[in-house]
Amino acid sequence: MLTETGTMTRPLANGHRPLAIEARGLVKRFDDTLAVDGVDISVPEGAIYGILGPNGAGKTTTLRMLLGIIDPDEGVRRVFGNDRPHEVAKLIGYLPEERGLYPAMKCDEAIAFMGALRGLPLDQGKARGRELLENHGLGYAVDRQIRQLSKGMAQTVQLLGTLVHRPRLVVFDEPFSGLDAINQGKLEAMIRELARQGTTVIFSTHVIHHAERLCDEVAIIAGGKVPYAGSVDIARDRISAQVRLETRTSEGAWRSALPDDARHDAKSDGSHFWYFPVPDTGIEALLKRLIDGEAGILSLSIERAGLHDAFVEIAGEAAARALDEDNAEGAAR
Amino acid sequence: MSDTTRLSLFEAARVVARRDFHAILFSRAFFFFLLGPLFPIIVGALAGGIGGQVQRDVTVNTVAFAMSAGDNAAIAAVSNRVGGTIEDMPEIAMIPPETTKAADFSPAALLRESNYSVVVTGGLERPVITGPHPQIHRWDGTISLLAAMASGAAPTELPAIAEQPIEATAAATRSDRIRTAQAGQLLLFLLMMLLAGMVLSNLVEEKANKVIEVLAAAIPMDAVFLGKLFAMLGVSFVGIAVWAAAGGTIGLLAGNALPQLPEPALGWPLFITFGIVYFAMGYLLLGSLFLTIGGMAATVREVQTMSMPITMAQLLVFFLAASSITSPGSPMELLAAVFPLSSPFAMLARAAQSEALWPHALALVWQAVCVVLFVRIGAMIFRRRVMKSGKGGRIAKADKGMLNLS
């Protein structure tokens, strides 16, 4: 479906939905640094797609290549079937990680200017800008200059400028960074609403919970490579469900039913917790052996693996550690 | 919104240009920038006024009468009697009859050898004025009035004046036009250096505001560059218009005290038109270089450091063009006309000295091609050098920890 040159027929994801973005073998070097090393991504139209990885993993560079801000050294990328993303610029909205607006512009002018860059006439942009500001509780700030706004308000104005021309594809680079919990929740709701209206949303993040809550599909990126790209459910299914068992005793014949590497926590109240993957023989056989062995079961639950576990499994401990460090830094900020 | 899925290059450039033009024009910084050169103009005008007065005092205001002894005496008598009542009365000098009766006497030769404005010969009924054309027109009315009064006729019956203008020689004309060419080049250089400096900080400011990525994602970098260049060019024209108006007003007030340049070969209207066009071309060429530097630099200090070589090079280029003024058609002058950055200077000098139009058409096409090339190369360098990594910028650290991933 992809050819090295020329236009392409719109590819279909899983044989169903057409793709908003398709990239194959993207490579980007900066001097001696290999920033992105053979990234493959397919984003179906209407999906919420997350690019998940720690800082420096290549997320921003990948997004910039997808949007045509920089060209890949190798590989091809297509946005709505076009290998020159600027050719479909009117269909795209982009919120970069480094937020920026002209400080002297008024809010409605800033939104209209961003729309004008994407082909929306200025007068329409201003009118829509005022409407959007009103709808997002910033109607009182329409005539204020950007320099007079708080950081959070300015971020909201830029976000509205990203959406003012009603794009079919919205790309957010680390959209949640710098937002407080309330505004993070509002942004999540906005992303869901965009997807409900049929807009494709791609965002990069180093916060797993946002990806887990929002995304239909994710690309896990680490060290410039994408070791996994696909559905969040399938990523989680790569790890067996975990059994969480609570017993009164720690010894007995029933112990042979537990795998040797089961994790054990002894609690101060005398109870014992055991964590291990659901055995291949199934949960019923396990339960029978525990009962027959008089394990003294206090509780037993089966927990599905989270995206964080999947990330560790797919990207490795080092990448997961880097991701956790980024999250800790973000929380500290 | 139109049906196309992108803006054309020029539509995109217009969006950027409109924003930049308004932002700069209505900024306080631009107001002060406009005021800057007005101070030297005002000081210059004051100094010029004083100098002009001095010059008027020493300027050649003397009309020499080389008529018959009787006519000369009658003119002298009238001059003494009514001189104080006639506005703009010249000094009167009487050439003695022994001089005028000499076989080799010639009013033109007298003008060359002495310091007179014009020489009047003939008789009171029909004075003949010899001199440069502007000087004849300056004094013909007064001379006619004096002749009428000296002959006893009514002041309303003025005698006809015969004119003998002195034609400038080809060498003198050329020498005069070189002055015009030099003045044009100098003005062009000063305006370009003054105004191109504004371009320098433009992209740095853009990067400081972090808007550049929004622009780069939406429109081609060529359009960003073009838009910024033309916005700054528009702002420059506003600045020039303000300064020209101020200068013109001062010129009007100062009257003849300000120096008057000889007419260029192509005539003033065409010369001024070419001046504007060559300013635009030179500005776009220099501005695209400065924009490229501004795109690569992260701070104003970096911009100043990086732009220094270009400023120096521009000085050299100006000297190249200026030094070849006197030798049109020489290899040096041709080099100055072909080298993109000196071409506007060299061609403006040509407009002052030569009547041929086709070299200007050729030069403008060549300069336009160079502008396009400079902009494209600048945009390419910018894309390669600037948009390197995200905010995290932890590529090296990430590599160490993660290259062992499957």
User: Which residues 224-243 of A are in CB contact (within 8 Å) with B?
Assistant: 224-225, 227
Kindly tell me the burial class for residue B397, based on how many C-beta atoms sit within 10 Å of its own C-beta (0-12, 13-18, 19 or more): middle
pLDDT at A127: 96
Nearest chain B CA: its distance from A58 CA (Å): 8
CATH number of the domain residue A288 falls in: 3.30.70
Nearest to A21 by CA among A202, A174, A206: A202
pLDDT at B229 over 90: no
Contact B398 A54 (CB under 8 A): yes
pLDDT at B402: 28
Count of the separate structural domains present in chain A:
2
Max avg pLDDT among B53-67, B104-118, B347-361: B347-361
User: Which residues 274-333 of A are in CB contact (within 8 Å) with B?
Assistant: 315-316, 318-319, 321-322, 326
Contact B402 A315 (CB under 8 A): yes
* End position of a domain, from candidates A231, A249, A270: A231
pLDDT at A45: 94
Instruction: Spell out which residues of chain B touch residue A92, defining contact as CB-CB under 8 Å.
Output: 217
pLDDT at A124: 96
Bigger pLDDT: B251 or B246? B246
Residue A169 domain-assigned? yes
Q: Which residue of A has its CA nearest to B13?
A: A117
pLDDT at B389 over 60: no
A122 and A45 co-located in one domain: yes
Instruction: Spell out which residues of chain A touch residue B216, defining contact as CB-CB under 8 Å.
Output: 69
Q: Which residue of B has its CA nearest to A66?
A: B217
Residue A293 domain-assigned? yes
pLDDT interval class at B69 (50, 70, 90): confident
pLDDT at B256 over 50: yes
Instruction: Spell out which residues of chain B touch residue A68, defining contact as CB-CB under 8 Å.
Output: 217
Nearest to B16 by CA among B203, B236, B293, B294: B203
pLDDT at B399: 34
A57 and A138 co-located in one domain: yes
Contact B389 A227 (CB under 8 A): no
Residue A207 domain-assigned? yes
Contact A316 B402 (CB under 8 A): yes
Q: Which residue of B has its CA nearest to A326?
A: B392
A216 and A106 co-located in one domain: yes
pLDDT at B113: 74
Contact A92 B217 (CB under 8 A): yes
Helix segments in B255-267, DSSP class H = none
Instruction: Give the 3-state secondary structure percentages of chain A, helix then strand then coil, rounded to 5.
Output: 40, 30, 35
Instruction: Spell out which residues of chain B touch residue A67, defining contact as CB-CB under 8 Å.
Output: 217
pLDDT at B397 over 70: no
- The ipTM is 0.81
Q: What is the mean pLDDT of residues B367-376?
A: 90
Instruction: Spell out which residues of chain B touch residue A321, defining contact as CB-CB under 8 Å.
Output: 401
pLDDT at B388 over 70: no
pLDDT at B2 over 60: no
Instruction: Spell out which residues of chain B touch residue A173, defining contact as CB-CB under 8 Å.
Output: 390
A200 and A257 co-located in one domain: no
pLDDT at B55: 47
Neighbours of A163 (CB within 10 A): 19
Contact A90 B215 (CB under 8 A): no
Max avg pLDDT among A144-153, B136-145, B318-327: A144-153
A72 and A153 co-located in one domain: yes
Nearest to A159 by CA among A190, A181, A199, A189: A190
**% of chain B at pLDDT higher than 90:** 18
User: Which residues 30-49 of A are in CB contact (within 8 Å) with B?
Assistant: 30, 33-35
Contact A57 B402 (CB under 8 A): yes
Could you tell me which residues of chain B have a Cβ less than 8 Å from any Cβ in chain A? 1-2, 4-7, 11-12, 15, 19, 23, 27, 209-220, 383-384, 387-399, 401-406
- What's the average pLDDT block by block, 10 residues per block, for chain A (333 residues)? 36 67 94 90 94 90 93 94 93 92 93 96 96 94 93 91 96 90 91 95 92 92 90 84 90 88 89 89 89 91 84 76 71 61
A47 and A137 co-located in one domain: yes
Cα separation of B358 and A195, whole Å? 61
Residue A85 domain-assigned? yes
Contact A56 B397 (CB under 8 A): yes
Dihedral angle computed from the Cα positions of residues A236, A47, A83 and A98, in that order, rounded to the nearest 10 degrees: -80
Helix segments in A40-104, DSSP class H = 59-67
pLDDT at B48 over 60: no
Q: What is the mean pLDDT of residues B117-121?
A: 88
Residue A294 domain-assigned? yes
Residue A330 domain-assigned? no
Instruction: Spell out which residues of chain A touch residue B31, defining contact as CB-CB under 8 Å.
Output: none
Contact A270, A248 (CB under 8 A): yes
Q: Is A202 left (phi over 0), alpha (psi -120 to 50) or beta?
A: beta
A179 and A99 co-located in one domain: yes
Q: For chain B, which residues make up each domain, given as ranges?
A: 9-41+171-385, 60-167
A171 and A71 co-located in one domain: yes
Contact B128, B120 (CB under 8 A): yes
pTM (2 d.p.): 0.72
Give which of B402, B403, B404, B406 to mutate to test A binding, by max A Cβ within 10 Å: B402
Say whether residue A118 is in contact with chain B using an 8 A CB cutoff.
yes
Bigger pLDDT: B35 or A43? A43
pLDDT at A49: 96
A203 and A244 co-located in one domain: no
Contact B398 A69 (CB under 8 A): no
A116 and A28 co-located in one domain: yes
Contact B27 A104 (CB under 8 A): yes
Tell me the pLDDT of chain B averaged across its residues: 79
A256 and A196 co-located in one domain: no
Q: Which residue of A has its CA nearest to B221?
A: A69
Say whether residue A120 is in contact with chain B using an 8 A CB cutoff.
yes
Q: Which DSSP letter does residue B59 get?
A: S
CATH number of the domain residue A81 falls in: 3.40.50.300
Contact B158, B137 (CB under 8 A): no
Instruction: Spell out which residues of chain A touch residue B398, defining contact as CB-CB under 8 Å.
Output: 54-57, 222-223, 322
Contact A322 B402 (CB under 8 A): yes
pLDDT digits (tens, 9 = 90+) for B263-314: 788 888 899 999 999 999 998 898 888 888 777 776 767 777 877 888 888 8
A261 and A222 co-located in one domain: no
Domain that holds residue A253: 240-303
pLDDT at B175: 65
Residue A321 domain-assigned? no
Residue in A89, A94, A223 closest to B405 by CB: A223
pLDDT at B1 over 50: no
Kindly tell me the burial class for residue B304, based on how many C-beta atoms sit within 10 Å of its own C-beta (0-12, 13-18, 19 or more): middle
Residue in A68, A98, A322 closest to B391 by CB: A98
**How close are the terminal C-alpha atoms of chain A, in Å?**
45
**% of chain B at pLDDT higher than 70:** 81
Structure tokens at B13: 């450039």
DSSP string for residues in B101-129 = TSTT--HHHHHHHS--SEEEEE-SSSEEE
Cα separation of A246 and A274, whole Å? 6
Contact B1 A120 (CB under 8 A): yes
Nearest chain A CA: its distance from B366 CA (Å): 29
Contact B232, B198 (CB under 8 A): yes
Residue in A30, A55, A100 closest to B214 by CB: A100
Give which of A52, A61, A73, A86 to mutate to test B binding, by max B Cβ within 10 Å: A86
Q: Which residue of A has its CA nearest to B388?
A: A30
Kindly tell me the burial class for residue A114, based on how many C-beta atoms sit within 10 Å of its own C-beta (0-12, 13-18, 19 or more): buried
Q: Which residue of B has its CA nearest to A28?
A: B388
